């Protein structure tokens, strides 16, 4: 492994990238803010999913200042359906730091940019290299897969300490004439050529440098040990309507799962001898009469499963509703940020009521 060899890998990769790269919205700009937004949205999320969200988001919040001034509820509504909602709140917190402490200029060095909320080692390197053309590593899952194959690295990429090996490898290979194209090329190669299964090695611009291809073990890499089993939660949820037509909605806690998102009153009844009505009265301070079943389904999160049964319900008597709950008109319900499983219930309710 010498410098000339490394230089050749970089050149091959970069010329391939400049020729074959996909035409993506965030590749039309050098604005560090927009690059930042795209990188956060792309965390653990497919490109095709991100594109429409990115377009709407940038159109609504075209600058650091506009996002800094946004209301959190409105921001979460823009993020609705994208998942990992703390990304949105961390992004805004980070943006506010830049506006207030860095005179609205995104820091151009790893030390400072890494202090921003929601900016980890990957996002820091991505923004620095793509927006500022600074030779910094940006190691994501693609990069680890690509380099584990090229360099025949057999460390377990599920372990966090392994990432350091790849960060050093990237810096050794870094094509300093064009860090932006080099880092993006590494990721682009992983996305469309050096795929997890059935990599298209015959189309690969760097296969002549690839140890795994040489040994025919590209499908065996990277090594990744994972297996977290999910826990099942049996939930009952109710869309409660008051005589004046308003609906009871609850804001989830500001930490943990689906933080600050809204939902209909929901209780977990594993092996309880209590009825839904009893537990709802206890938890929410409303007496209800359960009506027809709305929809029943499983919603699978990354680490747990909700098995939801949902019902219509009428308000019989209102005592003192819990602090984080509120009655909303149908229009107002539509404006609250709700996670996908809650949206499913809401859509089922509206369909039943023939409300569009």
Partner DNA sequence: TAAACGTGGCA
Partner DNA sequence: TTGCCAAGTTT
CB-based contacts of 192, cutoff 8 Å, min separation 6: 20, 22, 200
What SS3 state is found at 350? Answer: helix
Provide the minimum distance between the beta carbon of 118 and DNA in the complex, in angstroms, as a whole number.
4
Residue 123 near DNA by CB under 7 A: yes
Query: Of 3-11, 78-86, 236-244, 322-330, which part binds DNA (CB under 7 A)?
Result: 78-86
Residue 181: Cβ within 10 Å count: 22
Residue 187 near DNA by CB under 7 A: yes
Residues 125-164 that bind DNA (CB under 7 A): 126, 140-142, 145, 159-161
Residue 109 near DNA by CB under 7 A: no
Residue 224 near DNA by CB under 7 A: yes
Residue 52 near DNA by CB under 7 A: no
In the set 39, 188, 250, 277, the catalytic residue is 39
What SS3 state is found at 315? Answer: strand
Distance CA 239, CA 227 (A): 36
Provide the minimum distance between the beta carbon of 13 and DNA in the complex, in angstroms, as a whole number.
14
Contact pick of 49, 108, 322, 326 for DNA (by CB under 7 A) = 49
| 312 given a catalytic annotation | no
What SS3 state is found at 177? Answer: coil
Provide the minimum distance between the beta carbon of 236 and DNA in the complex, in angstroms, as a whole number.
18
H or E element: which one contains 148? helix 141-150
Contact pick of 259, 269, 321, 330 for DNA (by CB under 7 A) = 259
- Cβ–Cβ < 8 Å for 222, 153: yes
What SS3 state is found at 82? Answer: coil
Provide the minimum distance between the beta carbon of 117 and DNA in the complex, in angstroms, as a whole number.
5
Residue 38 near DNA by CB under 7 A: yes
Contact pick of 36, 53, 54, 122 for DNA (by CB under 7 A) = 122
**Which runs of E-coded beta strand occur in the chain?**
231-241, 247-251, 262-263, 266-268, 286-300, 304-318, 325-328
Residue 196 near DNA by CB under 7 A: yes
Query: Of 65-73, 101-109, 182-190, 265-273, which part binds DNA (CB under 7 A)?
Result: 182-190
Give how far Cα 56 sits from Cα of 45, 95, 145, 210, Å.
16, 18, 31, 40
Residue that is written with structure tokens 């209780």 in the block: 267
With contacts defined by CB under 7 A, how many residues of the chain interact with DNA? 58
DSSP 8-state code for residue 156:
B
Residue 33 near DNA by CB under 7 A: no
Residue 117 near DNA by CB under 7 A: yes
- Cβ–Cβ < 8 Å for 211, 150: yes
Residue 197 near DNA by CB under 7 A: yes
Q: Which residues of 19-47 are buried (b: 16+ CB within 10 A; e: fewer)?
A: eeeeeeebeeeebbbbbbbbbbbbbeeee
Residue 30 near DNA by CB under 7 A: no
Residue 304 near DNA by CB under 7 A: yes
Give the catalytic positions in this structure. Answer: 39
Residues that bind DNA (CB under 7 A): 24, 38-39, 42-47, 49, 81-86, 90, 117-124, 126, 140-142, 145, 159-161, 184, 187-188, 190-191, 195-197, 224, 226-228, 256-259, 299-304, 339-341
């Amino acid at each position: 492994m010498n410098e000339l060899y490394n230089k050749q890998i970089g050149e091959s990769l970069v010329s391939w990238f400049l020729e074959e790269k996909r035409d993506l919205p965030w590749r039309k700009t050098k604005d560090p803010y927009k690059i930042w937004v795209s990188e956060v949205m792309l965390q653990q999320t497919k490109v095709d999913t991100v594109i429409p969200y990115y377009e709407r988001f940038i159109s609504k919040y075209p600058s650091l200042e506009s996002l800094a001034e946004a209301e959190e509820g409105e921001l979460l509504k823009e993020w609705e359906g994208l998942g990992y909602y703390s990304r949105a709140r961390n992004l805004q917190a980070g943006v506010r730091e830049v506006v207030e402490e860095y005179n609205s200029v995104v820091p151009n060095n790893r030390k400072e940019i890494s202090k921003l909320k929601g900016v980890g080692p990957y996002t820091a390197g991505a923004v620095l290299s793509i927006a500022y053309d600074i030779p910094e590593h940006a190691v994501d899952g693609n990069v680890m897969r690509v380099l584990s194959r090229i360099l025949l690295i057999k460390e377990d990429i599920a372990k966090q300490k392994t990432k350091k090996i790849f960060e050093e490898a990237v810096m050794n290979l870094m094509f300093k004439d064009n860090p932006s194209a080099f880092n993006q090329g590494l990721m682009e190669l992983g996305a469309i050529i050096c795929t997890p299964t059935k990599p298209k090695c015959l189309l690969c611009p760097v296969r002549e440098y690839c140890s795994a291809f040489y040994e025919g073990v590209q499908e065996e890499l990277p090594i990744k040990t994972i297996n977290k089993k999910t826990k099942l939660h049996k939930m009952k949820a109710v869309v409660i309507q008051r005589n004046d037509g308003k609906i009871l909605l609850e804001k989830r806690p500001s930490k943990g799962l689906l933080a600050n998102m809204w939902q209909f009153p929901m209780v977990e009844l594993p092996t309880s001898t209590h009825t839904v009505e009893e537990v709802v009265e206890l938890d929410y301070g409303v007496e209800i009469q359960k009506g027809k079943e709305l929809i029943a389904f499983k919603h699978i999160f990354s680490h747990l499963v909700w098995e939801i049964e949902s019902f219509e319900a009428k308000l019989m008597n209102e005592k003192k509703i819990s602090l984080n709950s509120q009655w909303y008109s149908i229009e107002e319900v539509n404006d609250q940020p709700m996670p996908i499983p809650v949206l499913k219930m809401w859509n089922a309710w509206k369909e039943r009521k023939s409300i569009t």
